[in-house]
Structure 1
Amino acid sequence: MWRSASWIAACSERWHPGQQSLLGIERILYRAHSPWQAIIVAEVPCYGRGLFLDGDPQLLEHDEWIYHEHLALPPLLFHPAPHRVLILGGGDGLALREVLRDTRVAQATLVDIDGMVVEACRRHLAELQRGSLDDARARVVIDDARAFLARSTEQFDVALVDLTDATDATGVALLDEVLAGLQPRLAPGAIVSAQVSALDAPWHRALLLEARLRRHFRHTALHRAYIPSFVHEWGFALATNDFDPLRLDAQTIAARVAFLDAPPRSFRAEAYPDALRLPPYLEALRQRMLAAPVAPEGGPDFVWYDAEA
């Protein structure tokens, strides 16, 4: 049986009782504590390099592109002219990489609270970033998202909310504060994309968090992707005030793929907006949660165990 050469990351899932997930760490490339969190960049067998914050896996090289394509590309394809894009969180630079694939983007502003994460990823995940942090169209701001939104006078056509999971009442309150602060920064016709955590049973967290977005936006819709390294089907919400994403013409969405440097690999653009329609059992749950959102009950614990060779 293979044993980790240095560390094993273990997750005790409060969201999914009885389910345990383990990641064997082959080699730690970077380890530090910032004022905000513990940061580790490590190599994981079969999955490649990964970023872990407070023990929580943020991305793994093998399948990170599935997550980042679903977060960034649908809102760009839904918008007729996404010239100015805002990314809240995403200090690894990979959502930024996907945004810059769209030739219509004139400027992409990335706001992350932790400069140590940005620099660690610039150094150790540069191959995955493909130069995104140094692109002429990119602006990187090290700041709290709430403070940035309060000071800014800019308006954005597309906004990506790539913050850590809102796993408890404190996290949901932070999400609410960010979404409220985002409203004045949205240009007419703007579209927001947010990662909203695991969609699968028993807690269906993505449905709970979409219900929070609906408190701030007239229209929301949910799409999903299975992320192997997360061991879950992940939810992504689109939110707008000016149009219903479900009513956009499929041919229009598919035609906008021509503005990307290459077609998406993890989804077919022509499947939208139908990809926003959930199967009946999830749609029934969604409607219940939109009507009466359930209070969050906390998220998973992530624990690092030192493994002797």
Structure 2
Amino acid sequence: MWPDNRSSVSEFLLLGFPILPEQQDVFFALFLSMYLTTVLGNLLIILLIRLDCHLHTPMYFFLSHLAFSDISFSSITVPKMLMNMQTQCHSITYAGCISQVYFFIFFGCLDSFLLAVMAYDRYVAICHPLHYTIIMRDELCIILVAGSWFSSCAQALLHTLLVDQLSFCAGTVIPHFFCDLSVVLKSSCSDTSLNELLILTEGGLIFSLPLSTILGSYIRMAVVILKVPTLERISKALSTCVSHLFVVFLYYGTIAGVYYFPSSGSSKDKDIIASLMYMVVTPMLNPFIYSLRNKDMKCAFQKIFRTKDTPWCH
């Protein structure tokens, strides 16, 4: 996918994050610490699920894939942003930019699908507890995860191939800290009406279906719980669902703000900050919300500090 007669540039210029020069070191340290927290926290989740057989359940199987997706989602943009902040070299090759577009869409869609799958898993566990093991069998879990990966790959490939058909003028500047799809389209010299139409239609469908599944699952769970309301049951449900819904609304709200309700030309900094929320903040919060507050994960974590003679499964 190297540029040919459709594109006259071999690299783009990323303007980066809108901060003052004297604040570069502070923000570099902040973003680096957030990125390391994201990577280490999600790697810890994968390790614990791998080592502790008590976590070999559908819920944690989905969670391990979400943790890997979160690591990848942040890694496609944050390291490049940190390098640009440190070296003050803001160029990115054409191939690098196209690759960022592909993997950004791929792991962004994968996150959405996995969040929906996890919501469905919780719905079955709460609304159909006696049939949980029958419904959430291993074959179905593998199909749901494989379908999420395949659908994300197809979605990313479709948009990336269309972007690769566009032309870009020499000296193209991308006013962002990474090659965001919407910003790349606005920087093109070609007609992008087809690309924008796909984002609003097919992309909107991919956006709304997982969100509808998540909200529908939580609404159904709330109805079931409130049929036999007890203080302990409601408190436990709220402590779980509110945290999950917070991440869902943070993730989907910022994406909707950037792609479906974009800021005006004088307020582009708001879009960049919104992008940081779902690219950096949400993947960092997921380990705390989905696992480190979970009793099973805490028990698995404590086993790490036991002696080697202590078995993982008993």
Asked if TM exceeds 0.5, the reply is no
Q: Which structure is higher in RCO with an 8 Å CA cutoff and minimum separation 6?
A: 2
TM score, norm. by length of structure 1: 0.26
TM score, norm. by length of structure 2: 0.26
Structure with larger Rg = 2
